[in-house]
């Protein structure tokens, strides 16, 4: 198995993030042009915020329960 340093992994993540942001920008621009409303951007941001809040809350609850059960 090949062993890469953190620099190669970081460059791979930068590349993936760049491609994902360009594709996302293109798709959002197409949807806004198709619907004629910029409010789609607000709905996307709201959805992203809600999903991240739920996932962070779930992770915090799981880690709390695991920590609490280890004490018992």
Q: Give pTM, 2 decimals.
A: 0.60
Say what the pLDDT of residue 60 is. Answer: 74
The contacts of residue 40 (CB under 8 Å, 6+ apart) are: 28, 31, 32
- Residues with Cβ < 8 Å from 32, sequence gap 6 or more? 38, 40, 41
pLDDT of residue 68: 57
Domain ranges of the chain: 13-71
Instruction: Please list the pLDDT of the chain residue by residue as tens digits (72 residues).
Output: 557 677 888 899 999 999 999 999 999 999 999 998 888 889 989 999 999 888 888 777 767 666 655 555
Task: Return the pLDDT at 65.
Answer: 66
Give, in degrees to the nearest 5, the angle at Cα 12 between 21 and 23: 20
């Amino acid at each position: 198995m090949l062993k890469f340093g953190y620099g190669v992994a970081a460059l791979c993540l930068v590349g993936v993030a760049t491609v994902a942001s360009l594709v996302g920008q293109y798709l959002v621009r197409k949807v806004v042009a198709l619907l004629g409303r910029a409010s789609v951007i607000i709905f996307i941001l709201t959805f992203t915020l809600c999903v991240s809040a739920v996932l962070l809350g779930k992770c915090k609850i799981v880690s709390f329960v695991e920590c609490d059960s280890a004490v018992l």
